Amino acid sequence: EYAFTSPAKSIGSLGAAYGNFGVMVKAYAYIRSLGAEGLKEVSESAVINANYLKEKLKAYYHLPYDRTCMHEVVFSGKWQKAKGVHTLDIAKRLLDYGFHPPHRLFSLSG
């Protein structure tokens, strides 16, 4: 059963007037919930996972920077574009399978 409550220790509601404050509160709460060891563990996992994906996908996607990556790997849709497939098409298809697509906001030169 759901009900509206006003907990005594609540910081209250957050709105757009606070800019990115809500995002900062969520990030802070996440970091605090992990603790020092947990934060180290998820950071290490992010690096391992990014490098694993890089190795698995570099035969299928253009990899402009083929080096050890930190928390993310950057691919280019150059090879797919040559076949008429755009990065937006790939992003939408990932959504079809329940995956959050990587951001495609930043263009790679060349």
Could you tell me the residue range of the domain that residue 49 belongs to? Answer: 16-75
Is residue 55 situated within a structural domain? yes
Per-residue pLDDT tens for 22-33? Answer: 888 899 999 999
Helices first, then strands: H and E counts in the chain: 3, 0
Residue 11 DSSP one-character state: -
Q: What is the dihedral of CA 40, 45, 51, 57, to 10 degrees?
A: -150
pLDDT of 77 > 80? The answer is yes
Is residue 69 situated within a structural domain? yes
Is residue 30 situated within a structural domain? yes
- Whether 77 and 62 have beta carbons less than 8 Å apart is answered as yes
Q: What's the whole-model pTM score?
A: 0.67
Is residue 52 situated within a structural domain? yes
Q: Structural domain tally of the chain?
A: 1
At 110 the pLDDT is: 47
Query: How many residues are recorded in the chain?
Result: 110
